[in-house]
Amino acid sequence: MSDKAWGGRFEEELNDVALRYSASVDVDSRLAPQDIRGSIAHVRMLAAQGIVPQADADAIVAGLEAIAVEIREGRFVWDNAREDVHMNIEATLSERIGAVGGKLHTGRSRNDQVGTDMRLFTREACEATAARIDRMLAVLAVRAAGTVDVLMPGYTHLQRAQPVRLAHHLLAWAEGLDRDRGRLLDCARRLNESPLGSAALAGTTFPLDRAMTARALGFAQPTRNSLDAVGDRDYLVEATAALANCAVHLSRISEELVLWSTQEFGFVRMSDAFTTGSSIMPQKKNPDMAELARGKTGRVVGDLVNLLVMLKGLPYAYNRDMQEDKAPVFDAFDTVDDTLDVLTGCIATAAFSRDAMQRALRDGFLDATEVADWLAERGVPFRDAHHVSGKLVALCVREGKVLSDLSLAEFQAEHPSFDASIFGALDMETAVERRDLPGGPARQRVLAAIQELRGRLSGRELDVDAVAAKFSARPVVDPRREQA
């Protein structure tokens, strides 16, 4: 490390072990595009303010643009001895254009520089992940439209509970993911302030135009407090918390895909493209992508904990601990982005089994609530009606029947209000259609929800059908094919 990097205060080179320990270029070199954009905006502002000559600024911009090309093309040689992305770029610039390159850092510190880089990166990453969520939502909208007439058991406590439409269940997945998208974009909006000009912690004596650099980099405004600008990373915590929440939603979706693909459920057949076999059991078709998505959620939650623990004991202004903020943030975005892509493919190419879902509907007493509701609608207090329905279920369990197998006399033995219309109430389609409320599983409500989701996505300029077409989404399995 040259003494020019740190000034004349130091008489010895940094110890080799300390250099390896403190170097971060293997991680933060990923910020090179943001770092160069920030530097170009800064030096153009310096020239506009008369702080550096225009000719010097032009030479610096040209040098930075040339380095940017080399980095994009993979020709730039990173040097661990220069510690981080900032020093690698600035030192290379000075080697190429001479002492003029040293003027780039006028009125700036690496503290506000890295804060700017991370805000630029996080803003862009939030928007990119939100776009991936939209693609998954588009696939869910298309799959829901194709399964409106498929009924399945809804579950509580992993016990069959009440009948719903498969489309209604898929739309439940979509709702959580859409909120995750909103959280990421809220974070991008909140972090959209420029730290440039905050310098190390107390600003600078140079007459910087902070509004100019903020505009050049697409920020809404400069940050309001220089200490806060360089000393807080709550926007990274917020982004990573949103990612962790998204990862948990994806994990729960994955869990259902894993369960549904078992022989015990048989609700879904996963595509060969998103499953693997066994090294010893030839018959196996394992939902490994869904399992990995479930497992990788722990990494993202760990990334959030990493950031929180790193920050919790820091005094205000910049501390070197903050060098450790980048790896967990990069990992969280990368993991969630990959998981979104994989699960989008899993869902788009899965084949759902109408036949298996119908069998599950018949065997699970999912019509027991219909019996209680039927009585309550005729003036029987619901708690009494609930008790009567429970006794009828117990009778069926003892005799190996389902509720529709009982005779009218057996119904009336439990309560005299029953008449022959009770049998119509036990039809699963009827039971679902009776739940005709906003947010419910009745057919017209589900169709309206699909159209509303498509409308939201179209309003974001997403072509829903074009996205789904990329995956060759499969139809519901024909029961006749299952029996063949």
Query: Residue ranges per domain, the chain?
Result: 3-106, 111-152+163-206+220-354
Query: May I ask the CATH class of domain 111-152+163-206+220-354?
Result: mainly alpha
Known catalytic residue: 415? no
Catalytic site residue from 278, 404, 458, 472: 278
Torsion sign, CA atoms 464, 466, 472, 474: positive
Instruction: Enter the tokens of residue 432.
Output: 């679902």
pLDDT score of 1: 37
Same fold, 3-106 and 111-152+163-206+220-354: no
Which residue type does 467 have? V
Known catalytic residue: 353? no
pLDDT score of 5: 52
pLDDT score of 474: 61
pLDDT score of 374: 92
Rounded CA-CA distance 199/197 in Å is 5
Beta strands 221-222 and 193-194, pairing class: parallel
Rounded CA-CA distance 46/56 in Å is 10
Instruction: Enter the tokens of residue 459.
Output: 């309003």
pLDDT along the chain (484 residues), means of 10: 53 80 91 98 98 98 98 96 95 97 97 98 98 97 96 95 96 98 98 98 97 98 97 97 98 97 94 81 83 97 98 94 96 98 95 95 87 93 94 94 92 94 91 94 98 97 88 59 39
450 half-sphere exposure, CB direction, 13 A CA radius: 24
Rounded CA-CA distance 314/285 in Å is 49
Specify the CATH number of the domain 3-106: 1.10.275.10
Rg (C-alpha) for the chain, rounded Å, is 30
Q: What share of the chain is helix, strand, coil (3-state, %, to 5)?
A: 65, 5, 30
pLDDT score of 282: 67
**Inter-residue contact 192 to 219 (CB < 8 Å):** yes
Instruction: Enter the tokens of residue 126.
Output: 């939030």
